[in-house]
Amino acid sequence: MGLSDHLSWAELACKDGTPYPPAWHDRAVVLAAVFEDFRAALGGAPIVIASAYRTPAHNRRIGGVPQSQHVQGRALDCHPPARMFLSEFVEGAKAFAQADDRIGGIGLYRWGVHWDLRPHTRLIAWNKQRAGTPLRDA
């Protein structure tokens, strides 16, 4: 059974096989609601979840930052929908994050976007798309 119409518990689970922590069910409900709004804002096409919850050990193995919001079950890394240019996806994600005060962090990458629900008083944003290098639409 899915957490929401377009986000499953399996998508939230750590890639090492560890399920999303049941104690954070309320956190997952909010994450799913924001994901549904994000998906709708980008036209409703399926968005691929690359990473969600991570155990501390898995986060270390893949080189994640120690205080990653993934370890707190508050983050999603998303690839663009099929047939959507990466640049369009990134611009849509930026606009969504700026308009939705539930988003606490957004990271822009050459593979897609990271967004999270960290507790915040202002939006934290970073760009890891290689400054000066145009996005490749593939």
Closest CA to 36 of 90, 68, 76, 64: 76
Burial status of residue 65 (CB atoms within 10 A of its CB: 0-12, 13-18, 19 or more): exposed
DSSP state of 121: S
CATH topology of domain 9-128: Muramoyl-pentapeptide Carboxypeptidase; domain 2 (3.30.1380)
What pLDDT is stored for residue 100 in this prediction? 96
Domain residue limits, the chain: 9-128
DSSP state of 24: G
pLDDT tens column, 42-100:
999 999 999 999 999 999 999 999 999 999 999 999 999 999 999 999 999 999 999 99
Q: Are 59 and 71 in contact, with CB atoms under 8 Å apart?
A: yes
108-114 average pLDDT score: 94
